[in-house]
Amino acid sequence: MKFLMKVVVVLLLMAASFWAGMQVERLRYEDVCLDMGGGKNPGDYPICVIQSP
C-alpha cells in the first residue's frame, strides 16, 4: 500500500511540475514577444505577431 501511495504522489508531482513549467513558458514567450515589439493576434491566438517596416 505504501508503494502505491508513493507512486501516486510521484505521478501527481510530475503532473504538477509539467503544468507549472508550461505556465512559466507561456508567460516567458509572451514577455519576449512584447519586448520585440509584437503583440498577440486578435482572437487570443498564442502567436507572436510582429509588423515589418
> So what's the pLDDT on residue 8?
96
> So what's the pLDDT on residue 11?
97
DSSP-based three-state secondary structure for 39: strand
Contact 52, 38 (CB under 8 A): no
Query: pLDDT of 16-47, one tens digit each?
Result: 999 999 999 888 888 888 787 777 665 666 67
Q: Say which residues have a Cβ less than 8 Å from residue 50's Cβ, sequence separation at least 6.
A: 33, 36, 37, 38
